[in-house]
Amino acid sequence: MTKYVGVIGHPLKRSLSPVFQQAALDHLGLDIRYEAWPTPEDRLAERVGGLRAPDRLGANVTIPHKQAALYLLDGSDDLCRRVGAVNTIVHREGKLYGHNTDVAGFLRALREDGGFDPAGVRVLVAGAGGAARAVAVALIDAGAASVTFINRTFSRAAELVEEIGPQAGGTELNALPDVYASWRASAISCRLLINCTSVGMAGTKEEKGSPVPIELIPPDALVFDLIYRPAKTPLMAAAEKRGASVLGGLPMLIYQGAESFHLWTGLEAPLEVMFKVARAGLGMKEG
Ligand code: NAP
């Protein structure tokens, strides 16, 4: 029997997951289809419930459902509960279990592709949504000295710090309002600046925007933009001009997807195949 897995989100037209996950499944000769399952908020419970069918292996969960989907599952792992969001659902004998592979995907990309060890480092994060939560937990586990969150909606950043703060150990977590003075004060000392907003994402109203005042980008920092479409965002282009190092969202996307693949199939994901088709999907040259 053909098995099915897919990505649940809204909208999904520009998601790369169906492209590189299907290529990986086909490469290993598995009789599994990976589909895009666009799901508005009012259909989420029905969509997640449908994963209990015998031919469903599970799903990825993306914007805007990562937090809401957590409450529709039979169980979730420790990481999911710490982040407060799920990005991977696994179906086993009628029960649904949540995992969060964004945390490991982010750290692997930062270390392997960014060549950056966040231990003891001061970090500045733009955004306070689901991705920022995964980044917060990852940076705590990696021993960052401090993580400051600046978000358009200040209350959301404050809530993130309040909820994740108790597990922060030696990492100082701060929330600041999205005003120039906050950016200026925090950018000076940060060595890692991360964009966890959708500002700069292709196909949105803010596709030409930067979430951070460009003149404040520290020239000696690594700027990690979680956005993967376009491959080089306006923030990355501006950071390069200022002499900073940059890292885009593609490696994180592939690594989190590879972990999800392993959870559904029990097999190691063919990373090279995934990278190759994803780069082609973004119109990037091989490299
Ligand atoms: P989310 O929970 O919906 O959060 C979106 C964030 O973007 C919020 O902080 C939101 O601020 C901010 N934002 C949206 N529009 C804005 C605007 N016009 N001006 C300023 N801030 C704005 O989404 P998410 O899951 O955290 O994802 C965030 C980004 O990370 C997306 O671009 C996503 O593609 C990317 N991502 C990449 C990967 C990867 O594997 N590479 C994984 C996860 C996420 P408010 O709170 O004020 O609304």
Give the residues surrounding ligand 1 with Cβ less than 6 Å away: 63-64, 66, 102, 105, 127-132, 151-153, 156, 196-199, 201, 206, 211, 226-228, 249, 252-253, 256
- 49 Cα–ligand 1 center, Å: 26
In a shared domain, residues 170 and 212: yes
The reply to whether 172 falls in a domain is yes
* Range of the structural domain that residue 153 is part of: 103-248
- 197 Cα–ligand 1 center, Å: 3
- The CATH number given to whatever domain includes residue 33 is 3.40.50.10860
95-99 and 122-126 beta bridge pairing: unpaired
* Catalytic residue list: 66
Q: State which ligand 1 atom lies nearest to the alpha carbon of 153.
A: 47
In a shared domain, residues 87 and 120: no
Q: State which ligand 1 atom lies nearest to the alpha carbon of 249.
A: 41
Q: Indicate the pTM of the whole model.
A: 0.96
Please report which confidence band the pLDDT of residue 287 belongs to, taking 50, 70 and 90 as the band edges. low
pLDDT tens per residue, range 172-216: 999 999 999 999 999 999 999 999 999 999 988 999 999 999 999
In a shared domain, residues 67 and 135: no
In a shared domain, residues 79 and 134: no
- The CATH number given to whatever domain includes residue 111 is 3.40.50.720
pLDDT tens per residue, range 128-179: 999 999 999 999 999 999 999 999 999 999 999 999 999 999 999 999 999 9
In a shared domain, residues 91 and 121: no
In a shared domain, residues 85 and 188: no
